[in-house]
Amino acid sequence: MSCGLAIASMLMLTNPDVALAAAQPPAAVDAPVSVAGEPLFADIVARSGALKAEVDGWAANGAADQSGFLTGDVFAGFKARAAELADIDMQGHIILRDRGTDGDLKCILRGISEDIPKKVEAVETAATAPARAVALSELSYLLNDNVEVITAPPQPES
What's the domain count of the chain? Answer: 1
Q: pLDDT for 6-23, tens place per residue?
A: 555 555 555 555 444 445
The answer to whether residue 156 is domain-embedded is no
The answer to whether residue 8 is domain-embedded is no
The answer to whether residue 22 is domain-embedded is no
The answer to whether residue 127 is domain-embedded is yes
Domain hosting 55: range is 39-151
Q: Which of 59, 109, 54 is nearest to 86 (CA)?
A: 109
- Residue 18: its pLDDT value, please? 47
The answer to whether residue 15 is domain-embedded is no
Q: pLDDT for 53-90, tens place per residue?
A: 999 999 999 999 999 999 999 999 999 999 999 999 99
The answer to whether residue 145 is domain-embedded is yes
Distance CA 158, CA 137 (A): 32
Based on the number of CB atoms within 10 Å of its own CB, is 2 exposed (0-12), middle (13-18) or buried (19 or more)?
A: exposed
